Structure 1
Amino acid sequence: MDFSVKRDGAEEQIVDLFTATFTASEGADEGDLIGSLVSNLLGNTPQNDIYVFTAVDEGEMIGGAIFSRLTYADDPRSVFILSPMAVATDRHGQGIGQALLKYALAVLRDNGVDVAITYGDPAFYGKVGFLPLDEDTAAAPLPLSFPEGWIGQSLTDEPLIPLKGNCTCVAALNEPAIW
Structure 2
Amino acid sequence: MRLECRPMTPQTPQPLTFDSLDTSSRDAVAELFTRTFTASEGEREGILVGNLASELAGLIDDQEVMAIGARQGDALVGCVIFSHLQFEHASRIFMLSPLAVRTAFQRQGIGSQLIRHGLEELQRRSVAVVVTYGDPAFYGKAGFQPIAPGTIQPPFPLSQPQGWLGCSLMGEPLPALPGRPTCVRPFRNPAYW
Task: Return the alpha-carbon distance in structure 1 between the equivalents of residues 168 and 34 of structure 2.
Answer: 30
Write the distance in 1 (CA, Å) between the matches of 2:190 and 2:60. Answer: 18
Q: CA deviation at 1:100?
A: 1.0
Gaps of 5+ in 2: 1-15
- Structure 1 equivalent of residue 11 of structure 2: none
Spell out the pairing of 1:5-154 with structure 2 (5 A cutoff).
5-44=20-59, 47-75=62-90, 77-154=91-168
Partner of 2:3: none
Moved over 6 A (4+): none
The structure having more radius of gyration, on CA atoms, is: 2
TM-superposition CA deviations, 1:72-127 (whole Å, max 9, x none) = 1122x100001110000111110000011111100000011110000000000010
Q: Contact conserved, 2:23 with 2:59, CA < 8 A, in 1? A: no
What is the rounded CA distance, in whole Å, between the counterparts of 2:32 and 2:127 in structure 1?
26
Give the length in aligned residue pairs. 178
Point out the structure with the larger helix share: 1
Shift of the 48–175 alpha-carbon distance from structure 1 to 2, 3 Å rule, reads same
Report the AA paired with residue 51 of structure 1: M
The residue type equivalent to 1:122 in the other structure is P
- Give 1:45 deviation, angstroms: 6.2
Return 121-130 or 54-63, whichever deviates more.
54-63
- Residue 168 of structure 1 aligns to a residue whose secondary structure is coil
- In 2, the alpha carbon distance for the partners of 1:71 and 1:97 equals 26
TM-score with structure 2 length normalisation? 0.88
Deviation string 1:140-169 (CA, Å, 9 cap, x unpaired) is 100100100000111113221212333111
Percent identity of equivalent pairs? 43
Are the aligned partners of 1:74 and 1:166 in contact in 2 as well (CA < 8 Å)? no
* C-alpha contact 1:44 1:172 (8 A) present in aligned 2: no
How many Å separate the matches in 2 of 1:135 and 1:174?
21
TM-score (norm 1): 0.94
CA RMSD of aligned residues (A): 1.3
**1:14-72: per-residue Cα shift (whole Å, max 9, x none)?**
11000000000110000110111111112246652011110001221110000001111
